[in-house]
Amino acid sequence: MTARMKLGAFLWATGHHIAAWRHPKAHVTAGVDIDHYIQLARTAEAAKFDMIFCEDAAGLREANVGIASQTSRSIGFEPISLLSALAVQTSRIGLVSTASTSYNEPYGLARTFLSLDHLSGGRAGWNLVTSASPIEAANFGSTGLKPHADRYERAREFAEVVTGLWHGNAPGHDGQSFSVHDPLDLPRSPQGAPVMVQAGASDVGRDLAARTADVVFTAAQTFEEAKAFYDDLKGRMAAYGREPDDIKIMPGVSPVVAQTEAEAREKHEELQELIPDDVGVALLSSYLSISDLWRHPIDGPLPELPESEGMKSRQALVVEQSRRDGLSIRQLARHFAGARGHWRIVGTAAQVADELQARFEGGAADGFNVMPSYFPGELDAFATLVVPELQRRGLFRRDYEGRTLRDHLGLKRPA
Amino acid sequence: MHLAISLDIAAATREAVLDFSRISKFVLQAEAAGVDMVAISDSADGPSSSPFEATTLLAALATVTNRIGLVASASTIAHQPYNLARRFASLDIISHGRAGWNATMAQSAGEAANFSRPEGFSDADFRRRSEEYIGIVQGLWQGWDADALLFDKSGGRFHDPEKMHLLDHKGEFFSVRGPLNVARSPQDTPVLVLSGLSEPDLDNAARTADVIFMDSGSVESTKIRFDDLKRRVAARGRDPDAVKMLATVPLAADETPTTVADRLETQFRAKSCDGFDIRLPARHPALDDFAERVLPELRRRGLVRETYRGATLRAHLGLAGGGDQ
Ligand SMILES: Cc1cc2nc3c(=O)[nH]c(=O)nc-3n(C[C@H](O)[C@H](O)[C@H](O)COP(=O)(O)O)c2cc1C
C-alpha cells in the first residue's frame, strides 16, 4: 500500500484570509454560531480528514482597535469548549486544540485534554504553544512577554509533566516552574494519551518538538523550505531515541480551488481586493514584531528589522521572501494577509493535488494542515474537489480505518 | 420555587465510570421535568469516577439540550481569571445563554498542591484573592457591548471600536488588561453561582452573586441566614430579588415523595429560601423518583412553574438580562 497523506482542517474565524469575513459567501457570524462549527466539523468528517484544528490566543490578535475592528478575529469561541461541544456531534474525526504553556498549569491542562479525549472516545490532541504575543501577556500579569528562551524552558517542563500525568507515571513533580502532588483523577486515555502537536520553528522549538511531539505544523512557502524543515526536524529525533515516523509533519496550505484555473484566480483576486492597506500592513508588522512599519513608504522595500523575541522563524521567512521576490511593503502585506506566510495554491483540484503530491512524495511533508480562505465555501470546495482527486490517486483514505486520532495518524500507542 | 439539581458525578457510582450518553439522558430527563438548572460539581483534587472535567462536560451537554440551565464548578486555583472568564463566556454562547459558573469560596488544599502552590493561601489571602478574581471575571464578561458586532461587510466594519472596553485591572493578586476575545453573552453575562460561603464572604456574595447555594439547617436557622443575606443585598443597592438563595438539600433514599414535598413546601412557605439545590447522585432511580413523583406533587401544590417560559438561565431564574420571562 502506498503511504497516505494526513489532512487537518484548520478552522479559524470566518476564514484564513484576513478579509474572509467580507466575502459575500463567508459566514460572517461564525464567531457566535455553534451550529456553523458543527456543520464545518461534519463536512471535514464526511471528507475523512484526520482532524480539525483550532488555533488559540488568550487575547486580541491586534492591539490597534481601529485595525482590529476591520477584521473578524477579535471574537470567537474558546477552543476547548468548542471542541468539547463538537466531540459529541461527531464520531470519528480528531479534535486538536491549541493551548499555551505560558498561561496555564500542567495539571489543569492535562486534565482538561484528557477529559476531551474521553468525551470523544480517544480523538483529542493538544497543540502546545508558548504564546508570543505581548497582548496575551498583558492579560496575565504586569511583567510583559517573557523572553523566548524562558518560555521554551517552561514549556519543556510543562510538556514533561503533562505527558507524565497522561501516561499515569508515579505522581510527584517538584520542578523549576511547577509542582504537582497527585496523579490525575481520571481514567487512562482511550488512545493511550492525547496526541501532542507543536508548531515551534526556532531551534529550541524544533528540539522540543523532536523530543515530545507526535504531529508538527509548520509554515513553508517553497518546496526547498519545506524539505529543509522536514529533514532537519526528523534528523533531530534520533537524539531522543525516536524513529522518524513517530512525528507527522504537516505544513499549512491555503488553497483557492475551483473548477477551472481562471475561476480560481478570479476567486483569489476577489479576496485580495477586500484587504484594506492599513489592515494588511498591521498584520504584517505584528508577525514581524515591528510596531512602526506604517511609517515606511508603503511602495518601498521592507526596512532592516530588529531581532525578534516573538516568532523568530516567521520573521525570517517573510524577510527572505521580500528580498527574493523584490516585494514592496504593500505587495508583501497583501500577499501575507492571504495566509499569514503559509503556502498558497490557486488552481483546479488537479493542480492543487499535483502540488500536494509533489511535496508529499518528495519527502517534504507527511500531510497538510488545510487552511480554507473563507468558511464554509473553501472547506466545501476542498472537500468536494480536492479530496476525491487525492483519493483517486490513492493518496488519501476513502474511509476511516480506526477509531482514535492515533489510529488515523498511524501513531504508536504509548505504553 | 427555583430548582437546581446538583449532580455529584464523582460520588455517583463507585462501580462504573459514567459515560456521556448516560449523563446526557439524565440531564434530558431533568430538562423534561422543567428544572431550572443542573449543576456539575468538580474539583481537581480527589479520586473521581467521572471521566469528565466539568466545563468540557457542560459544553457537550449544551449541544444536546435546549432549555435547561447548565452550571459547572471551576476553581479559582486551577484557572487564571482571564482563561476562566473566557471559557464560560464561550460556554454561554454555545448554550445560547444557559451557562453559569459555580465558584466555591472554600479553598481546597489538595488542589493547590497540584497547581504549583503547595503552601496554599491563608484564609484571609484566599478570600481577598477570590473577591478580586470574581470582580475580574464579571468585568471581563462586560467587555463587549451587546450591540458591538456590526458584521458590515461592504463598509468593512466588523465591530464598533467604541463598544469594546478594556478592563485595565491592576490589583493585589492579578493584573488583567482585557478585553475578552469572546462576544457578549446572550443573557448579558453568565450566571454567577457562589457556594461554600462562610460568614466573612457574605458581603462580597451580596454584591456579586446571582445565585447562592447555602447549606440548609432547620427552617428557623435557614430563615435567619436568608433574611440576613437579603438585607446585605439591599444594603449594596441591589434588589433583594436579584440574588436567589437556594438551600442545598440532599435527598435521602428512604423519604417518600410526599414527605419530600412537605419538607420543601414548609421551608419555602416559611420564606427561608428562593428554592432548592437538590443533591442527587447521578443515578436514574434517584432522578426518576424526583422527576416523576416529587415534582408533580410540588406542581399540584402550585409551588413550581409548569414549563420554561424563557430561553436563558437568567430567564428561568427571573433575573434581569435574561430576555423574555
Ligand atoms: C499551523 C500553525 C498554527 C499555529 N497556531 C498557533 C496558535 O494557535 N497560537 C499561538 O500562540 N501560536 C501558534 N503558532 C505559532 C507556533 O506555535 C510557533 O510559535 C511559531 O511557529 C514560531 O516558532 P517558535 O515559537 O519556535 O519561535 C502556530 C504556528 C503554525 C505553523
Q: Which residues lie below 8 Å from residue A314, measured CB to CB, with a gap of 6+?
A: A201, A219, A287, A341
Is the CATH number 3.20.20.30 carried by domain A6-263+342-409? yes
Q: pLDDT at position B10, please?
A: 58
Q: pLDDT at position A284, please?
A: 86
List the single range of A275-279, A316-320, B236-240 with lowest mean pLDDT: A316-320
The model's pLDDT over A29-77, given as tens digits with 9 standing for 90+, comes to: 999 999 999 999 999 999 999 999 999 999 999 889 999 999 999 999 9
Q: pLDDT at position B12, please?
A: 47
User: Rounded to whole angstroms, how far apart are CA atoms A2 and A277?
Assistant: 46
pLDDT band with cut points at 50, 70 and 90 for residue B309: confident
Mean pLDDT of the region B304-308 = 90
State which residue of chain A sits closest to B43, comparing Cα positions: A185
A301 or B187, which is more confident: B187
The answer to whether A177 faces chain B, any CB pair under 8 Å, is yes
Q: Is the pLDDT assigned to residue A312 strictly greater than 90?
A: no
User: Rounded to whole angstroms, how far apart are CA atoms B293 and B280?
Assistant: 15
Q: What is the number of alpha carbons within 13 Å of residue A369 lying toward its C-beta?
A: 27
Q: Which residues lie below 8 Å from residue A93, measured CB to CB, with a gap of 6+?
A: A41, A44, A45, A49, A50, A51, A52, A123
Element (H, E) at A216: strand A215-218
Atom of ligand 1 nearest to the CA of A55: 8
* Length of chain B in terms of residues written: 325
- Running DSSP on this structure, what letter comes out for residue A123? -
Q: Is A80:A99 a contact under the CB 8 Å cutoff?
A: yes
Q: Is the pLDDT assigned to residue B15 strictly greater than 50?
A: no
CA A242 vs. chain centroid, Å, equals 23
C-alpha cell at B174: 492579578
Residue pointed to by grid coordinates 505587495: A331
Q: Is the pLDDT assigned to residue B46 strictly greater than 60?
A: no
| Mean pLDDT taken over chain A | 93
Query: A34–B174: do the CB atoms touch at under 8 Å?
Result: no
User: Rounded to whole angstroms, how far apart are CA atoms A161 and A174?
Assistant: 10
Q: Is A108:B50 a contact under the CB 8 Å cutoff?
A: no
The model's pLDDT over B77-113, given as tens digits with 9 standing for 90+, comes to: 999 999 999 999 999 999 999 999 999 999 988 889 9
Q: Is the pLDDT assigned to residue B162 strictly greater than 50?
A: yes
pLDDT band with cut points at 50, 70 and 90 for residue A2: low
Q: pLDDT at position B51, please?
A: 78
The answer to whether B66 faces chain A, any CB pair under 8 Å, is no
Taking Cα atoms as reference points, which of A367, A397, A413, A366 lies closest to residue A122?
A: A413
Domains of chain B by start residue, with CATH: 2-317 (3.20.20.30)
DSSP secondary structure, B228-247, as one string: HHHHHHHHTTS-GGGSEEEE
Q: Would you call A268 helix, strand, or coil by DSSP? A: helix
Mean pLDDT of the region B249-265 = 87
Where does residue B56 fall: left (phi above 0), alpha (psi -120 to 50 degrees), or beta otherwise?
A: alpha
Atom of ligand 1 nearest to the CA of A310: 27
Q: Is the pLDDT assigned to residue A171 strictly greater than 90?
A: no
β B99-104/B149-152 pair status:
unpaired
User: Rounded to whole angstroms, how far apart are CA atoms A396 and A402?
Assistant: 15
Q: Is the pLDDT assigned to residue A291 strictly greater than 80?
A: no
pLDDT band with cut points at 50, 70 and 90 for residue B45: low
Mean pLDDT of the region B14-38 = 83
The answer to whether A37 faces chain B, any CB pair under 8 Å, is no
Q: Which residues of A touch B149 (CB under 8 A)?
A: 29, 32, 75
List the single range of A37-41, A145-149, A171-175 with lowest mean pLDDT: A171-175
The answer to whether A142 faces chain B, any CB pair under 8 Å, is yes
CA B33 vs. chain centroid, Å, equals 19
Element (H, E) at A369: strand A367-370
Q: Is the pTM of this model over 0.90?
A: yes
Phi, psi (deg, nearest 5) at residue B12: -65, -60
Mean pLDDT of the region A379-403 = 98
Q: Would you call B110 helix, strand, or coil by DSSP? A: helix
Q: Is A40:A10 a contact under the CB 8 Å cutoff?
A: no
Q: Is B177:B213 a contact under the CB 8 Å cutoff?
A: no
A213 or A321, which is more confident: A213
List the single range of A174-188, B212-226, B259-273, B274-288 with lowest mean pLDDT: B274-288
User: Rounded to whole angstroms, how far apart are CA atoms B263 and B252?
Assistant: 12
- Running DSSP on this structure, what letter comes out for residue B41? -
Q: Is A40:A382 a contact under the CB 8 Å cutoff?
A: no
Q: Is the pLDDT assigned to residue B29 strictly greater than 80?
A: yes
Taking Cα atoms as reference points, which of A43, A82, A95 lies closest to residue A379?
A: A43
Mean pLDDT of the region B302-312 = 92
In chain A, what are the domain boundaries? 6-263+342-409, 265-336
User: Rounded to whole angstroms, how far apart are CA atoms A200 and A203?
Assistant: 8
Mean pLDDT of the region A319-337 = 85
In angstroms, what separates the C-alpha of B137 from chain A's closest C-alpha? 12
pLDDT band with cut points at 50, 70 and 90 for residue B192: very high
Q: pLDDT at position B47, please?
A: 53
Element (H, E) at A166: helix A148-166
Q: How many CB atoms lie within 10 A of CB A172?
A: 11
Q: pLDDT at position A308, please?
A: 66
